[in-house]
Structure 1
Amino acid sequence: MTTNAGNEAAPSTAAALSEAPDKTPAKQVLAWGLWDWGSAAFNAVVTTFVFTVYLTSDAFGDEAAVSAQLGWALAGAGLLIALLAPVTGQRSDSSGRRKFWLAVNTYIVVAITACMFFVQPDPNFLWLGLLLVAAGNVVFEFAGVNYNAMLVQVSTPKTIGRVSGIGWGLGYLGGIVLLLIVYFGLISPEVGVFGITGEDGMDIRVTVLVSAIWFGLFALPVLLAVPEYRGVGARRAKVGFFASYPRLYQDIKRLWTESRQTVYFLLASAVFRDGLAGVFTFGGVLAAGWFGFTASEVIIFAIAANVVAGISTITVGLLDDKLGAKPVIMASLIGLVLAGLAVFFLHDGGQIMFWIFGLALCLFVGPAQSASRSFLARLIPAGREGEVFGLYATTGRAVSFLAPTAFALFITVGGEQYWGILGIVLVIFIGLLLLIPVKANQQRLRGDS
């Protein structure tokens, strides 16, 4: 087949993987998964359960106003990700420096997280906190694009679902361990380790330092054990940054022509993944608001949620390889819809109902996330993993307003906070409907033929 520097044709990842070794060294799989374990420092501590909660407290001003400012800061970060993620992914493919850029972006996130130590509980430091959270989100997404693209380097056709599940599962389990350490060592006691107290926000500020060290250490194994990418994409001609956009446009056109199901899946997954994000984003809000959890109880629930999500994700990864990713995603989304409806209709049952059905939601979130990644990895044309996972990040960010908008809209209509649950359920259900017509040759994707 004739190719040229700007518009090369590439074999599918599934075809390329069919020529891969039958086994990937276990140390490479573990090393790759430990990045997910370490990244919990940013996901669980910074953006979900600790630092953003600290940043939206009344120490920084009116809680509603500060929360809105956080929302705007993250919206700006999302816009930058949407504009830049596909091109940075494409360039890491063509440069043959995928691992290099994973390292650069990871340790920028580590540095940003460490700088959060300087955010004192004072309105004058709000701008610094918002800037660091926004910048951290942008760079973390860039790192995630390269990390996800490495999935095909550490798996085979028959293990890709299992390996993806191991990564997601380790991420949840890493979140558990780190939350336990910082909660019992720093946040819960009146006087924590080394005499640290909550005065001047020191318990939270030291927590982010611990998180930075955690991520920095557990990111090392993948950089040391997994070889640099030298596949098809690394043989593409290099172009300048701005010239990457016309190339991206041509690549998307070719993707539409050669692998239309990939495009359909990117659209469907963008919607249901926003619903999945809404489960975690607003789960703590609902727990503390309608169901009356204290701040400490929210963290305890978060630990339990990560246990359930981690175990289910690793376990269901085995089914991904046997049944295919789409059935796993479909079953998980159906489970999420049913569990969400149960939380809504049984809201008067108090905390026990939230514990039961909230954990049921977590049972399905991880498998849906993991199988979504493995499904896409099987469809991507070889050598374009970084680029397409960049599009994966972009499409997700492009619709990231859906769950928050639906959550707020249903609360407005229903007049009570628990009505927001229906908004999240609706987004997941729409994503499920969009996924149904997406076709995938499961036999081919599993490498059976």
Structure 2
Amino acid sequence: MAKNSTKLTKQEKSWILYDWANSGYGIIVVTAVLPIWLVAVGKNAGYSTADTTAFWSYANSLSTFLVAIAAPILGALADYAGFKQRLFTIFTTLGIVGTAGLALVPNNKMWWLLFVFMIANIGYSAANIFYDAFITDVTTDERMDRVSSNGYGFGYLGGVIPFLIFYALRGFMSTTAGVMFGFVLAAAWWLVWTVPMWRNVKQANYLPLPAHPIQEAGSRIVKTVSHIAQYPEIAWFLLAYFFYIDGVNTIFTEASLFGKAVGIDTTTLLTVLLAVQLIAFPFSILYGRLAKKFNTRNVLIGGIIVYVGIALYALFIENAAEFWVLAILVGTSQGGVQALSRAYFGRLVPKDHASEFFGFYNIFGKFSAILGPVLFGAVAQLTGRVQLAAGSLIILFGLGLGIFLALPRLVSKVQAKQPY
């Protein structure tokens, strides 16, 4: 089927299904079960909710930091023939094994739980470098908004199904058994739905394999960085992305602990998180359609502005009803902002160097995921109020929005200074 058809191709569908596959990890491990479980384990160990929030934030930051420093070389290596699939498989397997391994950690070992989580998170984060880069292999520039938005949209729906299974069955188990079941379920879901990606998605754009790939990859990175002025739009977009995606990721990782800290009971919190997933599914796809009508850049700016409002509103959250409003607002824009950012960047990069550039895309995303949780955790620990911690994220959204709004003018200035 031609890629200009209105229907999704087999490769596009298989690529989208990986977002469906790893979203069970996203909602069960990162957003819902593990952070709530950590609060309970932390209390048993004598730690306050604010302290546990800080430890969880630091574990997220450290694991993403390790991926961030490796992202450029991993991305550059993945541009060589055969490497993208190989590296994707290695890190996906690490993530799946780490997720299943969470179920083996005793319920009184908080530090071991955080360590195994970091292993799983490294696999999850690194695999996404190659998954994101595969978008240039499976579709065209014209279809990229749609395919990327469908990936995030169906990813949210794919996260809902294992979460619903967990939600329905946990009442028939002890608390500990229910948590362990959730971890195993997330790992199994991830494994099964990754199979279409492994079977059908191939690297279409690549560089010839050199005699010394690691050395050559390093040289390419140095050359790209030294000639970054040749790519001013990419450079300025990455800086804007660094700030605003930091806020998006931080809200995602801290949502459960925020809810617990403002007094939301576990059942209500799980229901809210489920609702967010259901809301995010149609809105992610809607963002893709709006981008086709109103331009990707304009719709992306609108999504960032929504997040500025979310950060301001978080300052005043005191009860479950207000938390519901906050969650719904997040659900309307989270997937759309992520999807259009990926599609916008995918159009900018040279296709045969896509993995290298997506390595930089991910290093900015991962380093941003270090700053945000540290900011959130530090403010929560210093003030004892998670509302102030969430409100502090307006700094990140404001910086990202300001740079993105100024991007055309900044690019014009750089191009005007370039010799011809």
TM over 0.5: yes
Q: Which amino acid aligns with 2:239?
A: L
Is the Cα contact below 8 Å between 1:92 and 1:386 reproduced in 2?
yes
2:113 aligned with 1:139: no
Is the Cα contact below 8 Å between 1:160 and 1:321 reproduced in 2?
no
Relative distance call for 1:261 and 1:283 in structure 2 (3 A) is same
Residue in 2 aligned with 1:251?
Answer: 224
2:83 aligned with 1:110: no
Question: How many angstroms apart in 1 are the aligned matches of 2:366 and 2:351?
Answer: 24
Greater mean alpha carbon deviation, residues 201-210 or residues 24-33:
24-33
Greater mean alpha carbon deviation, residues 97-106 or residues 327-336:
97-106
Question: How many angstroms apart in 1 are the aligned matches of 2:377 and 2:120?
Answer: 26
Relative distance call for 1:127 and 1:352 in structure 2 (3 A) is closer
1:72 CA drift (Å): 3.8
Question: How many angstroms apart in 1 are the aligned matches of 2:22 and 2:233?
Answer: 30
2:181 aligned with 1:178: no
Is the Cα contact below 8 Å between 1:159 and 1:321 reproduced in 2?
no
Residue in 2 aligned with 1:239?
Answer: 212
1:77 CA drift (Å): 1.8
Q: Which amino acid aligns with 1:83?
A: I
1:55 CA drift (Å): 3.3
Question: How many angstroms apart in 2 are the aligned matches of 1:41 and 1:165?
Answer: 18
Q: Which amino acid aligns with 1:274?
A: D
Question: How many angstroms apart in 1 are the aligned matches of 2:219 and 2:377?
Answer: 38
Is the Cα contact below 8 Å between 2:30 and 2:253 reproduced in 1?
no
Question: How many angstroms apart in 2 are the aligned matches of 1:326 and 1:382?
Answer: 20
Residue in 1 aligned with 2:174?
Answer: 197
Residue in 2 aligned with 1:54?
Answer: 37
More helix by share: 2
* DSSP-derived class of the 1:58 partner: helix
* DSSP-derived class of the 2:174 partner: coil
2:360 aligned with 1:360: no
Residue in 2 aligned with 1:282?
Answer: 254
2:139 aligned with 1:155: yes
RMSD of aligned Cα (Å): 2.4
2:242 aligned with 1:270: yes
Among candidates 85, 99, 105, match of residue 119 of structure 1: 105
1:253 CA drift (Å): 2.3
Q: Which amino acid aligns with 1:250?
A: K
| Residue correspondence of structure 1 range 328-339 to structure 2 within 5 A | 328-339=299-310
Relative distance call for 1:212 and 1:151 in structure 2 (3 A) is same
Q: Which amino acid aligns with 1:104?
A: I
Among candidates 207, 211, 233, match of residue 261 of structure 1: 233
Residue in 1 aligned with 2:86?
Answer: 100
Question: How many angstroms apart in 2 are the aligned matches of 1:131 and 1:410?
Answer: 24
Q: Which amino acid aligns with 1:219?
A: T
1:37 CA drift (Å): 0.7
1:120 CA drift (Å): 1.4
Question: How many angstroms apart in 2 are the aligned matches of 1:279 and 1:385?
Answer: 28
Residue in 1 aligned with 2:418?
Answer: none
Among candidates 292, 302, 313, match of residue 321 of structure 1: 292
Is the Cα contact below 8 Å between 1:87 and 1:245 reproduced in 2?
yes
Runs of 5+ in structure 2 lacking a partner? Answer: 412-420
TM-score normalised to structure 1 length:
0.83
Relative distance call for 1:213 and 1:408 in structure 2 (3 A) is closer
Relative distance call for 1:181 and 1:376 in structure 2 (3 A) is same
Is the Cα contact below 8 Å between 1:89 and 1:142 reproduced in 2?
no
Question: How many angstroms apart in 1 are the aligned matches of 2:182 and 2:374?
Answer: 31
Question: How many angstroms apart in 2 are the aligned matches of 1:242 and 1:133?
Answer: 32
1:35 CA drift (Å): 0.6
* DSSP-derived class of the 2:407 partner: coil
Q: Which amino acid aligns with 2:182?
A: T
Runs of 5+ in structure 1 lacking a partner? Answer: 1-19, 442-449
2:354 aligned with 1:385: yes
Residue in 2 aligned with 1:5?
Answer: none
TM-score normalised to structure 2 length:
0.89
Is the Cα contact below 8 Å between 1:96 and 1:234 reproduced in 2?
no
Identity of aligned residues (%): 22
Residue in 2 aligned with 1:301?
Answer: 272
1:397-445 deviation per Cα after TM superposition (whole angstroms, max 9, x unaligned): 223343334435655787643222321222112111111122399xxxx
1:52 CA drift (Å): 3.5
Among candidates 13, 21, 25, match of residue 42 of structure 1: 25
Among candidates 372, 375, 389, match of residue 403 of structure 1: 372
Question: How many angstroms apart in 1 are the aligned matches of 2:190 and 2:65?
Answer: 25
Question: How many angstroms apart in 2 are the aligned matches of 1:352 and 1:408?
Answer: 24
| Number of positions where the alignment pairs a residue of Structure 1 with one of Structure 2 | 405
